Structure 1
Amino acid sequence: MAHKVDEHVGKRIRQRRWLIGMTQQKLAEMVGIKFQQIQKYETGANRVSASRLWDIGEAMGVNVGFFFEGLDGAQSGSAASRFISGDLLEDKDAMDLVRCYYAIPQNQRRRLFELARVLSDVA
């Protein structure tokens, strides 16, 4: 049975990978392992060593602490992770929407945000 910390770290790896639009294969190549190992990390079936977690963080542009954010008692480093529920972060469509949002140029992104805010107030 997987430890809850291993499962949490695996979910955070998957969430970050989805957010930046990276495949398991690409991450595996960047880290120097097979994609099946990434699958096992993401499910919590295999524990990620400290050095491997460091490499994964480097490949995905986050520090090691990112993978522990949201864990019971762990301080959350970003505003998004403090306000977004775990269920939302596990929703692939929501993650795709966030990825698309960040692909929009900054000035247009602000306008889209304002539109979303107005629409959410109406609903």
Structure 2
Amino acid sequence: MAAHPTDIAVGRRVRELRVRAGLSQQALAERIGLSFQQVQKYEKGTNRMGASRLIQIAGVLNMPVEALFEGLETSETTTRPSDNEDVLLDRDAARVARDWIRIPDQSTREIVRDMIRTLARTQTSGGNH
């Protein structure tokens, strides 16, 4: 599997900050309990770093963990959850889903569904926000 661009960018940032701190890959590896080969893989982006590892590396580099992400480009597609995730995260949507399940009559469900769709369209097409 090819390295993800974000993993490559974070790896480069780790390398940049490590070099700036005057540490070799070996020195960083020893401080975080890894082989220098593993640090090398992190810096190339071929292996992903988990949150705890990022925090550990930032600590050794005496930087806030956010510094490892500086310069990363973000777009709505990478930072915004999908519509399905929005529903899962929204308490009101969860309540509506629970109430929906309790409507036994199919024709009533269709009326409610059509009403929601109509409201959603008017809100997103320049109506009230």
Name whichever of 64-73 and 6-15 sits farther off. Answer: 64-73
Q: Using the TM superposition, give the Cα deviation of residue 29 of structure 1 relative to its aligned residue in structure 2, in angstroms.
A: 0.6
Q: Give 1:62's aligned residue.
A: 63
CA RMSD across the alignment: 1.2
* Relative contact order higher in (CA < 8 Å, ≥ 6 apart): 1
Tell me, which stretches of 5 or more residues in structure 2 are unaligned? 76-129
1:33 maps to a residue whose letter is L
Structure 1 gap segments, 5+ residues each: 75-123
Task: Count matched residues.
Answer: 74
The answer for the alignment partner of 2:47 in structure 1 is: 46
Deviations 1:7-39, CA, capped at 9 Å, x for gaps: 011000000011111000110011011110000
Structure of greater Rg: 2
Structure 1 runs of 4+ aligned residues shifted over 4 Å read: none
Cα offset, 1:73, TM superposition = 3.0
Give the share of equivalent positions with the same residue, in percent: 47
Aligned to 2:27: 26
**How far is the alpha carbon of 1:64 from its aligned partner?**
1.0
